[in-house]
Structure 1
Amino acid sequence: MPVAGVELLVRDIPDAQPDLPPALFVHGLGGSSLNWTALGLLLNGTIRGIAPDLPGFGRTPLQGATGIAEQAELLIQLLEREFDEPAHVFGNSMGGASSVALAAQRPDLVKSLTLVSPALPHPRVSASALWFTALATPRIGPAVLERTARLPFNQRFEASLALVFGDPRALAPEVRAAYEQELRRRDTDPWGRQATVEGARSILRSSLARRGRSLWADAARVECPVLLIYGGKDRLVDARIRMKAQRAFPNARLLYLPRSGHVAQMEHPDEVARAVRQLIESNPQLD
């Protein structure tokens, strides 16, 4: 569908009744709408929703800038187009950061916010921070991605599994197969490396923003109920930041999954779905 001059691929939650509350699912850097398949199916009796492939990812070509601010603006226009009431918004990683910016700018569009390993600025220097810094650096970032692309696919696939999931060996065979199929398809996208570099630069810029303009300042302005989900084996977002995140949002609850990695909605969808239902059921205004 055309949104803000961009041709977005958008998926629907199958078999959800049209009178259920609306929802929006936002994937992270290098992800796609397919990252929400399992959770969407588990919640199709609770919410109806859509999941876009953001520009440069999934099946949506790179069109314009792909930073956090641009994603938030695109999501605002998508929500205004698709729904006539506030939506439950779900965001993972960079998509979580964009969802925080969205909720801070347009609280009238967001009924609740579920954030899975959101890419909020971290005060500690970590391996993932150094990785994003390398990707965001001119010449170095493209060179790193180009060198990685030359590696045998199976080697890159196993490395990606180890980076994203807490325990790749425990993945259901169909999840592993779908993830492999998506990575093979992604290899054919001519815009993939540029989108990844631009996304990494946006995450780095957000970590360097002045205090009053940071994502933490945005978090303090989010008044809707928030569910924060962190994985103890997340190699991209340090779960030790979870307590600071819970304090930053005025109305937040926390789910910590010790065995989960960066995409808990894929790795432990039952636990995430249960927490989402509890969030909605404990807040009557969210029905």
Structure 2
Amino acid sequence: MESYAAVTGAGASQGAQEWPARTVPVSGVDLLVRDVPGADKSLPPALYVHGLGGSSLNWTTLGLLLNDTVRGIAPDLPGFGQTPPVTGMGGISEQADLLGELMDREFDEPVHLFGNSMGGAAAVALAARRPDHVASLTLVSPALPHPRISASALWFTAVSTPRLGPAVLERTRRIPFERRLKASLSVIFGEPRLLPPEVLEAYEAELRARDTQTWGPQATLEGARSILSSQFAPPRRSLWADAAKVRCPVLLVYGGRDRLVDARIRLKAQQAFPDARLLYLPRSGHVAQMEHPQEVERGFRQLIR
């Protein structure tokens, strides 16, 4: 297996770059939105949606790799990155509504929609509600309901408990930063030791920035509760029902070393969407768009071809 740097080539250094940022008023909040630099304005639009605890910077490398094909934007969802929280906007359904409003403000044609983890769940809900506005859907480790009880499911249950959740997050924040960084890297990435130094530095800088934001714990609590709630939604209102309503072609990306989303769900997911292709990366973790961006890039190009 080649190293990350060998596989991504020039894309490795792109992983530490920040796209130009601006604010867009959406649903009563000034949403920080980043534009992929260098993309021609005549290209079809793309919208990149990060997951719980992530930010727009999770898409930096992939967005730059695709800037000859789509003109992408990536928001910091409320309570994450540099966008302040909005009470009641931290759930999957609410995020889908917000993203729909952002699409209406920014684009006048169908969008290539990308989503990771909880952002993938919101992207599925959005594509089901507004099928005529989504040209394709690329989902990286989407947080779809899973029948198996996992360590991550237990964590979400603990964090979602009214009194226990805040205590768990506060105790986590008291752990020395270097220990938390090491643990986070091992959970998020399949092979963190193969990440190039500039990507590790950018990830560490973002984790340090979260420590200074007072709203982070509450946003995490709301997101965790929404993910847990989606696990027990009635069949007709579940994300699986939404998946069946998606009309556009879908690319599903799963990592064999994902510790948050069990990749064994991938075949069920592929069957749930009317038109889905599967990209399985055995050595990737939860954020394949960061860890193996060129493989995800190739998968997307094949999808829209």
| TM above 0.5 | yes
Q: CA deviation at 1:63?
A: 1.1
Out of 131, 140, 162, the residue aligned to residue 186 of structure 2 is 162
Matched letter for residue 292 of structure 2? H
1:171 corresponds in structure 2 to 195
Out of 98, 123, 136, the residue aligned to residue 99 of structure 1 is 123
The residue matched to 1:228 in structure 2 has which SS? strand
User: Which string of whole-angstrom CA distances, capped at 9 and with x for unpartnered residues, describes residues 174-223 of structure 1?
Assistant: 11000000000110000000000110000000001000000000000001
Q: CA deviation at 1:139?
A: 1.0
Within the alignment, does 1:38 sit opposite 2:61 as a pair?
yes
Within the alignment, does 1:8 sit opposite 2:20 as a pair?
no
Q: CA deviation at 1:64?
A: 2.3
Q: Distance in 2 between matches of 1:103 and 1:215?
A: 11
Query: What is the aligned-residue RMSD (CA, Å)?
Result: 0.5
Give the alignment of 1:100-249 within 5 angstroms. Answer: 100-249=124-273
Out of 20, 25, 40, the residue aligned to residue 48 of structure 2 is 25
Question: TM-score under structure 2 normalisation?
Answer: 0.92
Out of 62, 70, 74, the residue aligned to residue 47 of structure 1 is 70
1:284 corresponds in structure 2 to none
Can you give the 5+ residue segments of structure 2 that lack an aligned partner in the other structure?
1-23
Q: Distance in 2 between matches of 1:133 and 1:256?
A: 28
Q: CA deviation at 1:10?
A: 0.1
Q: CA deviation at 1:275?
A: 0.7
Matched letter for residue 113 of structure 2? V
Within the alignment, does 1:87 sit opposite 2:111 as a pair?
yes
User: Which string of whole-angstrom CA distances, capped at 9 and with x for unpartnered residues, describes residues 70-92 of structure 1?
Assistant: 00000000000100000000000
Question: TM-score under structure 1 normalisation?
Answer: 0.97
Matched letter for residue 250 of structure 1? P
2:288 corresponds in structure 1 to 264
The residue matched to 2:112 in structure 1 has which SS? strand
The residue matched to 2:193 in structure 1 has which SS? helix
Q: Distance in 2 between matches of 1:109 and 1:3?
A: 18
Q: CA deviation at 1:5?
A: 1.1
The residue matched to 1:91 in structure 2 has which SS? strand
Matched letter for residue 66 of structure 2? L
The residue matched to 2:242 in structure 1 has which SS? helix
Count of matched residue pairs: 281
Can you give the 5+ residue segments of structure 1 that lack an aligned partner in the other structure?
282-287
User: Which 4+ residue blocks in structure 1 deviate beyond 6 angstroms?
Assistant: none
Q: Distance in 2 between matches of 1:221 and 1:126?
A: 28
Matched letter for residue 36 of structure 2? I
Q: Distance in 1 between matches of 2:120 and 2:239?
A: 10
Q: CA deviation at 1:109?
A: 1.2
